[in-house]
Structure 1
Amino acid sequence: MKKDLNYYLSLNYPFKIEALSKEDGGGFLITYPDLPGCMSDGETIEEAVEMGQDAKRAWLETALEKGLEILEPFTTTEKYSGRITVRTPRSLHRKLIEEAQEEGVSLNQYLVYLLSKGKSKSV
């Protein structure tokens, strides 16, 4: 398959939406982790997603024009990447970091330990 603009637009690039503080203008920020620097914003989540689609198209067009490498989304290239993204309350995040520091390991290592200690039903 030819890797042109339509090809890349057909891929399911994951995105992240964050609420912006009043100091930052309010509304919502959308970013695409697999497309460095690709971002936009909107007053509502729906508007941020719509603006993000425009930003993604412009980012891909520019990268293609300049002959830059465009990574495919990790969800497309590898079914089981070992990567998990989890949003937690700040208080839980703080507590987990403190516990990891007490154990002398990174937060990532500590989370893997906790998950393996709990053991999935499928393991």
Structure 2
Amino acid sequence: MSNNYDHYTMVIQWSEEDNAYIVTVPELPGCITHGSTYEEAVSQGRDAIESWIDARRASGRTIPAPGSRVLVVQ
């Protein structure tokens, strides 16, 4: 199976409360992580997507297809 990890949408938002960038992946329920810098958040997001998909694949469950990519800058 091909590696489509980079085709999933990462939503990255700064959280004053957490003093970190929070990363969510809308196509993958419960796939969430964070980073203290934007770059770290992107890296952690990629790792979270890979781990989420690997765990889902290992359990024999369906893996949602990547959605469309949207960039929102705030």
RMSD: 2.4
Q: Which runs of 5+ in 2 are unaligned?
A: none
The counterpart of 1:54, out of the listed 35, 40, 47, is 47
How many pairs were matched up?
A: 74
Greater Rg by CA: 1
The counterpart of 1:17, out of the listed 12, 18, 27, is 12
Runs of 4+ in structure 1 off by over 2 angstroms are 6-9, 84-88
- The two structures have a TM-score, normalised by structure 1, of 0.52
More helix by share: 1
Q: Which runs of 5+ in 1 are unaligned?
A: 77-83, 89-123
Identity %: 31
- The two structures have a TM-score, normalised by structure 2, of 0.82
More strand by share: 2
Rounded Cα–Cα distance in structure 2 between residues aligned with 1:67 and 1:19: 34
